[in-house]
Amino acid sequence: MNLKEKFGHKIKSLRENKQYSIEYLANIANIDRTYISDIEKGKRNVSLLIIEKLSKALEVNIQELFNYEE
């Protein structure tokens, strides 16, 4: 699994733990829902701005987004 896939898996896991739909996360993070879907599939290189938006929307610190289980 590459870094984009690990990051995407982490976003999906955090989103599902909060019982957020992709649409709801997209709305509160002000990110297009298809972009979030692509992130979760490991198809996007995300910018620092997107990382910050996801962190705030998921109510976790940025470091948590990079805490992957091996």
- The answer to whether the CB of 15 falls within 8 A of the CB of 26 is no
* Binned average pLDDT, 10 residues per bin, the chain of 70 residues: 95 98 98 98 97 98 88
pLDDT at 18: 97
pLDDT of residue 70: 58
Six-digit token string for 4: 């984009």
CATH number of 3-57: 1.10.260.40
**3-state DSSP assignment of residue 27:** helix
Round to whole Å and give the CA distance between 53 and 29.
5
